Each structure stands twice: as C-alpha cells, then as structure tokens.
Amino acid sequence: MTTRTIRARDRPVFGVDVHSGDVRGDDPSYALVILDPVDEDDPDAPDADGPMARVTRDVVSFRKLCRLIDDREPLYVATDNAYELAADKSELVGFLRSLPDGTRLVQVTGAERPEPLSRVASRHGIPYGKEPMKEAEASARLAAANVGHEVTAFTDETRVKVSRGRSTGKGGWSQDRYTRRIHGNVRKRTRQVQSKLKEANLDFERDVTEKYGGYANATFAVEARPEDIPVSNSRAGDVRVEVERERRDGIEYEPLVQRRDRVIVGIDPGTTTAAAVVGLDGTVHALYSSRTADTADVTEWIIEQGRPIIVAADVEPMPETVEKFRRSFDAAGWRPTTDLPVDEKLHRTRETNHANDHERDALAAALYAYDDHEDQFERIAAKTPPRLDRGAVIAGVVAGGSSVEAVIEDLRDDESGGSDGSGDADADETDPTESERTEEEETIRRLRDRVDRLESHAESLEEDLDERDERISELEGELEEAKREERIEARSRRAVSRLERETDRLERERDEARERVAELEGKVETLKELWRLDHSNFHDVADDRGLVSVKVVEQFTLDAIEAADEAYGLVAGDVVYLRDASGAGRRTAERLAETEPRAVIRDGNLSDVADQVLFDHDVPVLPADAVPVREVDELAVASEEAVAAAVDDWERRAERRRKAEKQEHLDRIISEHRAGRTLPETEE
C-alpha cells in the first residue's frame, strides 16, 4: 500500500553546504540553515512567504549535524551535492542508513547530472548567493518547495526479523524446558508482529525457521518503509526484533514530486477506505487502502497522484463519502446504473495486482468510468490542437461541463494573457438570450461559484470534524479500558513469573533428589548382592572363606602400580587385579613381585617376560574369567572359593611347567655334554 506522505508544514527542513575543510579530510564544518514550521494563525509568527517562516543559521561539525538530525528528525536534509556529506558511495550509504525514519536526503540540483544551484534557484525564484550559508538556505527553500530528487540506497521493502534474544546454552538441568520457553516466546512475538502488520494492512511475506518448542527466528519482508511499519527495534528477555530496509544495488535518485496529470479516481469507502487512480489512457497508476486513514489522508494521497476529473463509485446510488470527495475536487461523478457484480469486477481488474477486495472495488469503479468515457476522450483529443494540453481540455469538458470549443478558446485566451491564469475551464455555456456580462460581472460570478464550492466543502469538513470528535471520544474510552486491562494483565504476569520461578526451583530440587535416590538405590542393590554372595554358605563364613578383598591396578605399568600403592597400599598376601595386563616388561613385573601378592588376577594377556618373572617368584597369575571381580565405588571383592580354586589350578599347571622346564634344562645339559665329547675326535 501507499502510505501517507509527511507534510512539510509538520517538520523542519535542513539546508546543508560545506563551510570549510574537505569532506575527505579530518574535520569539515558545514553551514546549516533550518527552516522551522510555524502556525500561520500565531500572531507572534515572523512574517515570511510560505509556511516555513522561522530561520536558524549555524556552522556545525559533521558530528553535531548528525546529532541535530537525530534530535529534530527533519523532513528533508537538502544539499546541492549529496557527496558533500560523504567521501564515497560506501559512506553515503552509511549516512542514509543513519537517518531517522521519515527523514530524506534531497539533492536539489537534479539526479546523476546535477545543474548549478544558481540556475535551479533562479528558475524557482529562490534567493541565491555564493556564500556557503546562502547556498545552504537556497537548498533548504528549494527542498521545502518539493524541488529536487531524493537520494536513496534502499527500496520500499523492509525486513523485520524476530529472533532469539539469548543463547539456548550448552546444556544442564531443565535444558529442554529452557530451550522450549525461548522458542515459544519467539513464536509468540512473531504472531504479535504478524497481527500488527495485518492490522496496518501491509503486504508482507513470512519465512519461519521452526525449532523445538516454537521458532528459532522469523523474517517478514514488508512492502513499506520503516516509518510506516508499526514495529520497531527492540530486545526484551528471550526475543529480539530488528527492522532494516532492503538495500538497492546502488544509489538512486527519485524526484520528490511527479507531474500531476489529470486522472480518474475510484473510491471504495467503509471501515477500510480504498482508492485507485487511473490515467486518461486507461493505465492504472496507483492503489491505496487503509483502515486508519481519515478523509484528509486520502485526499492528500489523491492530490499526490494527480488532478481528478472524475470520481467514481462501484454502487448505485453514490455513497455520501464518495460524493464529498467529488465535491472537494470539483470533479464529475460516475456511478453504474446498478451495483457492479463481483464477477464483473474480478474480470475487469484481472490484469492488475491488488492487495484486497477494497482496492479491487475502487479499481473496478475507476476502470468502468474510463470505459464509459473512452469514446468521449477520443473525440475531445481529435478536436484538440496539438499545441494545447489534451488533459486540460478533457478536464474542462468533463468536469467543467463546457463545450470543447469553449474550453479551447479559454485555454487560448490563457496562453495569450487574456485570462486570470488560473487555468480553470469550468465556465457554463452561455445562454444566447442573456446579455453579455461585463468583466466585473463575470469575475463576481466566478467568485460566487467559488464561494459556493468552498462553503459546501466547509460544511463537509465540519461534518467530518464532528465525526472525528465522536471517534476520538470513543477511542479514548477504549484506551482507558485497554490500560486497565493491561495493568491487570501485568499484575497477573508478575504473579505467574514468580510462581514459575518457584516451580522451576522445586522441580530442580526434585530432579536432583531423584538422581541421588537412583544412585543410592544402585549402590544398595550391589551391596545386597555382595551380601548375599558373602552369606550364601554359612559354613564358608564360619571358616572365613566368604569374600576376599581385591586391590585394583588400572594398568600393568610402574606408574599405575605406584599409584595403587600410594592410594591403598600393596602388602604381602594381597590379591591384585590388573585391569589391563598387556605391555609390562621385566622391571614392572619385578616391582609387582616385590609386594609378594597372594595372587594376580589379569584381564588381557601378559607379555612372556612378565609372565616368566611372576612365575619365577611363585606369584599365581589367574585369568579374570576364572575369578569374577565385583566392584562398588573403590571397593573390589572376589569369591574366596573362586580364588582358592584358581590358585590350586595354577599350582597344578605350575608344577607341570617346572617339570617341563627341568626336563628341558637336563636335555640341554646332555646335548652340550655330547657336543663336548665329539669335538676332540673331530679335531684328531
């Protein structure tokens, strides 16, 4: 949609010119002229031409200039060359981004190829001087008269991003609940932003990234400028909202005002007021719709688009609101013989994109009005001499009710200086029986007609004012009620937040207690199992043959043996459990053998060297699968019966191994002896 234009009388205008230094230097200074709006009815207002009357002049640094722009939020910052405020394109884009919403940078001398400021000022009757302060004032007055081009690096599309305001963290208690809450708040804020955009009747596209419990972020591409969007940058708790205009590919220059041609306007009144502007050739110029705009806003928007000669409605009879617009523009009215059917409106507007049904109805009214007058426009154009404005002739005939010849004659008189220069072509055709009026009588007649139109317009405006006062009273009542409900809701939110914090604390303590209980229950079950194992045979208990303590060595290395010795001591008669028996050498095995253990339980294979050292020291080495070891925290135990059986088995295998080694030793001695006796005979 096209939004309401900020009027120059509501905001100041800044004129800027380099006073000293260079923008590419360290500290340039600027001549600044501020044209402030004043109330024309104020008796203390200074005398001046136009609505801008109060003039302030100063020399400021660039930093102070930016601070004044932020504080005053002028309508225009005008200069004869935009690059007097920035050294290059990158800095200019940064300056444009820093401007407040609704403030525009204006180059009054033209677009990419600017004219000299003196020539532009002379053409528009603006005083000019070569001093920086006079050039700044000329720039300000030209911009106030809507002369120049807006310098822009951004499109009319704005990106609104709703995202997480804090990290979801790396884990911990209730992490899922914490993450779900953040994503839920992002989703809630996204829906609020979407609701506000819809209420403002803005076109947008939404892109959402869904995450556990809600949204991680959401992006709205809105067809509007930031000042027209009812959402601003904010950061509250879990959610952050960022509003940023979309960049163009480069710097562009757009004229402040377009040429105001004659147009046909279709209006659809109601809760949502819509308007459509169509040219005299049937081209659709612009569409507008708003739920909040009043008659003045719509009128101002229409004036920006052109000069209406026909105001059309899509229903019969013409609504009173549309009739008020017609009278205010002194235009001809058009309405169908019967209400336009929806299917016909859809067919007639099928080639034009419209935001809603209201814009469609307004556009259909304008297009059907054009269809009804198209032949008349062509006949008028055929009779219009090439040097005359065809639109002015059509306006005089259609809106003024005059004949083509009379309008052409009036326009010719205007060009030759024979008229008052007003360009009006609304004179009624003269009655041939009426005596010729004098110039004074004709002037009086025109003034009376104008007074009648103004009085009618004033009555219409007074009615609108009464309606607005009633609406203001109604809205004030609704505002008070909304404030009361908001206070109640705020108290409720605080109470809920307090209860949620207390609930989180209690849930945290409950979870910690459950974890501790589970841990202790596991230990109890293990101890019970060990107790049952220890007391499964009372005869064994009596003989002190239930369980035997086992000392754990994590790895068969010198460091691990020393760590175990330091932790709980290794003494003679211990049962030692090697959790990893691989990789030990002679020195490590001898260090373990020095402790004179009763037995060594191994998990994994011993090296041949370590096995031989332990065997030589008569240390039984038992496999882990033969003697199961049970561990509770730092306590490890094994069945005495299993240890004894495994030791007995090792003794039997050790006896066979000793005999085998002794037999091998005797065989080696015999072999060496035989080899010694054979050697001398061989020498002989």
Judged on CB neighbours under 10 Å (0-12, 13-18, 19+), 74 is buried
Higher pLDDT, 310 or 37: 310
Q: Identify the CA nearest to 105 among candidates 83, 125, 90, 72.
A: 83
Q: How far apart are CA 240 and CA 166, in angstroms?
A: 9
Q: Identify the CA nearest to 48 among candidates 127, 109, 129.
A: 127
Rounded to two decimals, the pTM is 0.38
Q: How far apart are CA 298 and CA 293, in angstroms?
A: 7
- With bands split at pLDDT 50, 70 and 90, how would you rate the model's confidence at 269? very high
Fold of 8-147: Nucleotidyltransferase; domain 5 (3.30.420)
Q: What is the DSSP string of 473-516?
A: HHHHHHHHHHHHHHHHHHHHHHHHHHHHHHHHHHHHHHHHHHHH
Res 39: pLDDT: 58
- With bands split at pLDDT 50, 70 and 90, how would you rate the model's confidence at 435? very low
Residues 216-238, mean pLDDT to the nearest whole number: 85
Q: How far apart are CA 158 and CA 470, in angstroms?
A: 35
CB of 261 within 8 A of CB of 286?
no
555 conformational bin, left if phi > 0, alpha if psi -120 to 50, beta if neither? beta
Q: Identify the CA nearest to 567 among candidates 583, 551, 556.
A: 551
199 pLDDT higher than 60: yes
Q: What percent of the chain has pLDDT over 70?
A: 84
Mode of pairing for the β-strands spanning 239-255 and 234-236: antiparallel
pLDDT digits (tens, 9 = 90+) for 529-581: 665 555 444 334 434 557 788 888 888 899 998 988 888 788 888 899 898 88
Number of Cα atoms under 13 Å in the Cβ half of residue 295: 20
pLDDT digits (tens, 9 = 90+) for 642-652: 888 888 888 88
51 pLDDT higher than 60: no
Residues 660-672, mean pLDDT to the nearest whole number: 84
- With bands split at pLDDT 50, 70 and 90, how would you rate the model's confidence at 170? low
Residues 609-636, mean pLDDT to the nearest whole number: 84
Q: How far apart are CA 199 and CA 202, in angstroms?
A: 8
CB of 35 within 8 A of CB of 16?
no
CB of 159 within 8 A of CB of 219?
yes
3-state secondary structure of 296: helix
Q: How far apart are CA 314 and CA 334, in angstroms?
A: 9
4 pLDDT higher than 70: no
- With bands split at pLDDT 50, 70 and 90, how would you rate the model's confidence at 169? low
Judged on CB neighbours under 10 Å (0-12, 13-18, 19+), 140 is buried
Other CB atoms within 10 A of residue 334 CB: 24
Res 678: pLDDT: 60
366 pLDDT higher than 90: yes
64 conformational bin, left if phi > 0, alpha if psi -120 to 50, beta if neither? alpha
Taking the chain, what is the end-to-end CA distance rounded to the nearest angstrom? Answer: 127
3-state secondary structure of 433: coil
pLDDT digits (tens, 9 = 90+) for 591-601: 988 989 989 99
Res 368: pLDDT: 95
| Amino acid letter, 153 | A
Res 501: pLDDT: 92
CATH number of 262-383: 3.30.420.10
**E strand segments, 7-120:** 13-20, 29-37, 52-61, 76-79, 104-107
Q: Identify the CA nearest to 248 among candidates 154, 112, 150.
A: 154
User: Which residues make Cβ contacts (< 8 Å) with residue 8, sequence separation at least 6?
Assistant: 37, 51, 52, 75, 76, 144, 146
Residue with tokens 């003196």: 118
Q: How far apart are CA 268 and CA 275, in angstroms?
A: 6
Residues 374-386, mean pLDDT to the nearest whole number: 85
pLDDT digits (tens, 9 = 90+) for 503-516: 999 999 999 999 99
Q: In the beta sheet, which residues pair with residue 274?
A: 268, 289
Q: How far apart are CA 42 and CA 611, in angstroms?
A: 112
Q: Which of 243-247, 309-313, 427-431, 477-481 is predicted least confidently?
A: 427-431
Would you state the CATH architecture of domain 157-255?
A: 2-Layer Sandwich (3.30)
447 pLDDT higher than 70: yes
